[in-house]
């Protein structure tokens, strides 16, 4: 049974309490029960009951958690992503290349979780910088502008942690259950198996749904359990039947699950401020284009 959050439920950030050593904390659902001002420091403190853990699982007995306002994510103003660009350097050759696919016709199938350490999607990676002067270090390397029409905007470091956590837990979940699907080319057989399997995995699916609900709400998206179920079912069906393999550099490949989630809300990219991205090695903005040379994305060269 998927749970609905109450109107008085908040998002709070809990540091150094996560299953993943690479993440510095996690964002949770919590209910506010009290607030008070410390008489000595004049600092306002808030008492919450934590409803979920770092994996998106609901506690049977909610845990008490006290914090200052800076830990309350729901108090922050969020921005809506606007048309922007990322800058993609080409270090070898002259082709703009998309990366991080779960499988292709030229290699053995990888586990989804082994595809990339920080799973922000399959596509063309680059920097989202405030000014092109920040790119002067690349005088001898061609750098391209890639226009992003509807980016999913990472609001702050806590939001990045939420997205990484949700994406990683989804990958783990899908790796676990895709092995139970039948090896067949019959789409209707796979579709029936997917529905049966997801019904059996409702508890695990709920925790992943909760993490994605937390990640998407920062961009004004109210994710529903039915829509999320449909996204997951479609990914598994197309992953297993390979019906949506796309051609990339004369080979066929398949994207990461986060692409399916964000595509479902018409996002064509994910943008991270360079200062936030620099705190996590390997993290960067990404345009969700798989075959840049044959797509309709706008690519231009910068003058240096």
Query: Which long-range contacts link 55-63 to residues 24+ away (Cβ below 8 Å)?
Result: 55/19, 55/169, 55/207, 55/211, 56/166, 56/169, 56/206, 56/207, 56/208, 56/209, 56/210, 56/211, 56/214, 57/207, 57/210, 58/3, 58/206, 58/207, 58/210, 62/30, 62/31
**Pairwise CA distance, residues 112 & 102, whole Å:** 6
**Can you give the pLDDT at residue 33?**
93
Strands 269-271 and 151-153, sheet pairing: parallel
Residue 21 is predicted with a pLDDT of 62
pLDDT in tens, the chain (304 residues): 345 555 679 999 998 766 666 678 999 999 999 999 999 999 999 999 999 999 999 999 999 999 999 999 999 998 888 889 998 888 776 778 888 888 765 555 668 888 888 889 999 999 888 777 666 566 677 888 899 999 999 999 999 999 999 999 999 999 888 877 777 666 777 788 888 888 888 888 899 999 999 999 999 999 999 899 899 988 888 887 766 566 555 567 788 999 999 999 999 999 998 889 888 877 899 999 877 666 666 767 666 5
C-alpha radius of gyration, the chain, whole number: 21
Q: Which tokens go with 13?
A: 């950030």
Which residues touch 104 (CB under 8 Å, ≥6 apart)? 248, 251, 252, 253, 254
Query: What are the boundaries of each domain within the chain?
Result: 9-75, 84-301
DSSP alpha helix (H) spans, 113-201: 157-178, 187-200
Q: How far is CA 70 from CA 26, 94, 252, 274, 284, in A?
A: 14, 45, 46, 22, 25
**pLDDT on residue 2:** 45
Task: Tell me how far apart the alpha carbons of residues 165 and 19 are, in angstroms, rounded to a whole number.
Answer: 10
Find, among 304, 300, 261, 291, the residue nearest to 121 by Cα: 261
Cα separation, 214 vs 167, whole angstroms: 12
The predicted pLDDT at position 135 comes to: 67
**Residue whose token pair is 């949506």:** 244
Alpha-carbon separation of residue 246 from 46, 83, 129, 238 (angstroms): 50, 26, 30, 12
Q: How far is CA 232 from the centre of its chain?
A: 14
């Amino acid at each position: 049974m998927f749970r609905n959050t109450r109107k008085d439920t908040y998002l709070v950030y809990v540091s150094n309490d996560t299953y993943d050593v690479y993440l510095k904390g996690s964002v949770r659902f919590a209910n506010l029960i009290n607030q008070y001002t410390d008489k000595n420091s004049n600092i306002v403190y808030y008492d919450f009951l934590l409803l979920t853990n770092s994996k998106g699982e609901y506690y049977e007995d909610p845990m008490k958690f006290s914090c200052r306002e800076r830990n309350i994510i729901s108090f922050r103003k969020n921005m809506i992503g606007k048309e922007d660009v990322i800058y993609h350097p080409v270090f070898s050759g002259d082709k703009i290349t998309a990366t991080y696919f779960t499988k292709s016709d030229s290699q053995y199938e990888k586990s989804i979780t082994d595809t990339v350490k920080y799973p922000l999607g399959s596509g063309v990676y680059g920097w989202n910088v405030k000014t092109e002067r920040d790119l002067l270090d690349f005088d001898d390397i061609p750098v391209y502008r890639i226009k992003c029409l509807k980016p999913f905007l990472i609001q702050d470091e806590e939001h990045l942690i939420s997205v990484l956590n949700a994406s990683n837990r989804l990958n783990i979940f899908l790796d676990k259950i895709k092995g139970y699907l039948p090896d067949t080319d019959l789409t209707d057989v796979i579709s029936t198996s997917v529905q049966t399997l997801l019904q059996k995995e409702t508890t695990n699916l709920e925790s992943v749904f909760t993490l994605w609900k937390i990640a998407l709400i920062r961009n004004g998206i109210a994710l529903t359990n039915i829509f999320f179920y449909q996204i997951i079912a479609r990914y598994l069906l197309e992953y297993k039947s390979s019906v949506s393999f796309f051609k990339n550099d004369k080979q066929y490949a398949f994207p990461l699950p986060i692409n399916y989630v964000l595509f479902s809300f018409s996002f064509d990219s994910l943008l991270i401020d360079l200062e936030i991205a620099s705190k996590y090695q390997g993290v960067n903005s990404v345009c969700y284009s798989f075959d840049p040379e044959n797509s309709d994305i706008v690519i231009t060269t910068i003058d240096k």
